[in-house]
Chain A
Amino acid sequence: MHIDLKKEIKESGPGKAGLIILLLMVVIALLAPILAPYDPYQQSTASLLPPSWQHWLGMNHVGQDIWSQLLYGARTSLLVGFGVGIISTLLGTVFGVSAALVGGIYEKVVMRIVDAFIVIPMVIVVILISAYIRPSITTLILLLSFLSWQGGARIIRAQALSLKERANVTAAKSFGANHFYIAWRHIIPDLGPILLVDFIYSVRRAIFMEAGLAFLGISDPTVVSWGMMMRDALSFSYLSVWQWWLVPTGVALSLTIIGLTFIGHAAEPVIEPRLRGVGIA
């Protein structure tokens, strides 16, 4: 693979824009306790106040500062996103690479399970499970990870199959290297760009899902999240509060997802080199 991922993203305008948006969100999430002027969980009697110098985005229905909630919401989204991204990319790598190297019955079993999970509509499975167990953030991360590594495993396996045929792997094998050594030294390092694309799309999907579940009201009610804020704001859509409650929250969520989409798109030639040079810029 002679495509440099860093170069690919840096040379694409939207890729850069996506990276800047994502970095901004990460900074907000990390510094939320410092940046937030109020405790986002502190309720007060000042409910449904319009924006003012004290409360930039006003107060919600139970008198919580919306601006502070917005900042803390970034934490939840990114925590779930990156958590799922890391675990599911890890699972995808383990199963994809091992299926390619071990082959035989093992590969068949793994790939049939992978295919089965690709056709099952994930959102509805997550909703059913969440309806029963009302997951905490940690449980949600694990749940989403277990249900979303399969797509990545398919691409990783395909790539590993072609890497396996290279001379360095044959050489390593002739010196008696085992599967684990070959995977670690010769396959996984060359998978780098593909793993990053898989990671970006997993993060994106997880942020989408977390917001959706919170919007349905089946996430952890003790943690502020953008989906939950939008759900609360929806019940007051007949008032003008949507201008400072719903819209900024929805825009923050959409921007995060758009940022990830742009990065993913800029990096896509890694998977499909024929698309080089015909991106947005």
Chain B
Amino acid sequence: MLSKRNVITYAIAFVFILLLNFLLPRMIPGDPLMAIYGDEALIAMTPELKTNLVERFALDEPLWHQLGAYFVALFQGELGYSYYYNAPVLSVILGRLPWTLLLVGTSLILSTMLGIILGIESGWRRGSKTDRAMLAGLMSLNGFPDFFLGMLLLIAFGVTWGIFPLAGALTPYSGLSGLALLLDVLKHLFLPVAALTLAHLASGYLLTRNTMITVLKEPYMLTAKAKGLSQQVLKYRHAGRNSMLPVVTQTGIWVGRVVTGALFVELVFAYPGVGFLTYEALLARDYPIIQGVFLIVAISVLAVNFLVDLSYPKLDPRVSYAY
């Protein structure tokens, strides 16, 4: 359902992101050309190129005109040029994106599913020893920053026991194909996914457990019990399914968190996704890449949030009354 409230919220978020991306390099002291293009650009810069670039971004004109030029470039899909990689920003990012999507997608699915199952089991046994142990364990796990979990896994399984590869997403120059290639990808994926999944397990778990506890007090649970339904049916079909709804609303926010989590985990495992690209760009002060990643990640997260907001009333018709 497309409510006016939703549209305004996302419009404000969208404008904030674009303005931040536009204003930051132009507000800081020094040559805006350098702030937009980074240190590498100055080395490659000829006077002709410089005039060309100044003209393209209308840098010698008032801020208002610059904003216009910025939007024109943006809507033509132009994210700038990285002089560090000597390639257009968009193609550099798109080249890295599949690895991040693989990492984030797998971790998001695993951590949400595991979190829901653990939450249902824990909530069902609320107050028992098992429940308390799970709650304490998962909350402690939640305190470990994803990059620390990643480093511990790397040192244990990679460095010490040598079970999994230390870095990268593929064995370089292996010339593998077919099943062997798939296995190689999975082997490299395992530790980063494990780190991200463990780090984000607690969010889904805590939310499901909390809802489970409220749902179990509902009268319909008593009715279901009185009908003589089995424990499994009660637990999963009646209580569990209803406890999953709040999880859906949170998915959008979790996508944001897992994506930024991936950024840190990719750094630890030198996994060649967008996160590692950001890290390289931060080191090289490659501003076009940093800006491009910011724009693409921020807008994708907004888009996911928006879609979740749209689909939620379909899943739970009760919320449409809330608007």
Contact = CB atoms under 8 A, between A and B. Distances in A.
B28 A132 contact: yes
B17 interface: yes
B210 to A, nearest CB: 6
Interface in B12-40: 12-13, 16-17, 20-21, 24-25, 28, 35
A230 interface: yes
Interface stretch (A56-64, A86-94, A212-220): A212-220
A280 B13 contact: no
B159 interface: yes
A225 B45 CA distance: 38
Interface string A237-268: 11000100011001001110111111001000
Interface residues of B, number: 62
B210 A272 contact: yes
Contacts of B256: 119, 121, 123
A116 B159 contact: no
B282 A262 contact: no
A4 interface: no
Nearest to B290: A131
B279 interface: yes
A119 B251 CA distance: 11
Contacts of B80: none
Contact of B210 (A131, A242, A275, A281): A275
Contacts of A40: none
A124 B263 CA distance: 9
A19 interface: no
Contact of B139 (A117, A253, A258, A274): A258
B305 A237 contact: no
A128 interface: yes
Contact of B13 (A119, A132, A261): A119
Contact of A254 (B132, B145, B283): B145
A191 B92 CA distance: 50
A278 interface: yes
Main secondary structure of the interface of A (DSSP, over half): helix
A261 B143 contact: yes
B142 to A, nearest CB: 6
B315 to A, nearest CB: 19
A278 B126 contact: yes
Interface in A205-226: 208, 211-212, 215-218
30 contacts: A112-B12, A115-B5, A116-B9, A116-B12, A117-B16, A119-B252, A119-B305, A120-B17, A120-B301, A121-B298, A124-B263, A124-B297, A125-B298, A127-B263, A127-B278, A127-B290, A128-B290, A131-B285, A131-B287, A208-B145, A215-B147, A216-B264, A242-B151, A246-B155, A247-B152, A250-B148, A262-B139, A265-B139, A272-B210, A274-B217
* 9 A-B pairs closest in CB distance: A258-B143, A121-B256, A116-B12, A123-B260, A257-B143, A116-B13, A250-B148, A115-B9, A128-B294
Given A120-B16, A120-B301, 11 more contacts: A113-B12, A115-B12, A116-B16, A124-B260, A127-B263, A127-B290, A132-B25, A132-B287, A247-B152, A261-B139, A279-B135
Interface of B: 5, 8-10, 12-13, 16-17, 20-21, 24-25, 28, 35, 126-127, 131-132, 135-136, 139-140, 142-145, 147-148, 151-152, 154-155, 159, 210, 213-214, 217, 252-253, 256-257, 259-260, 263-264, 267-268, 278-279, 282-283, 285, 287, 290-291, 293-294, 297-298, 301-302, 305
Interface of A: 14, 112-113, 115-121, 123-125, 127-129, 131-133, 208, 211-212, 215-218, 230, 234, 237-238, 242, 246-247, 250, 253-255, 257-262, 265, 272, 274-275, 277-281
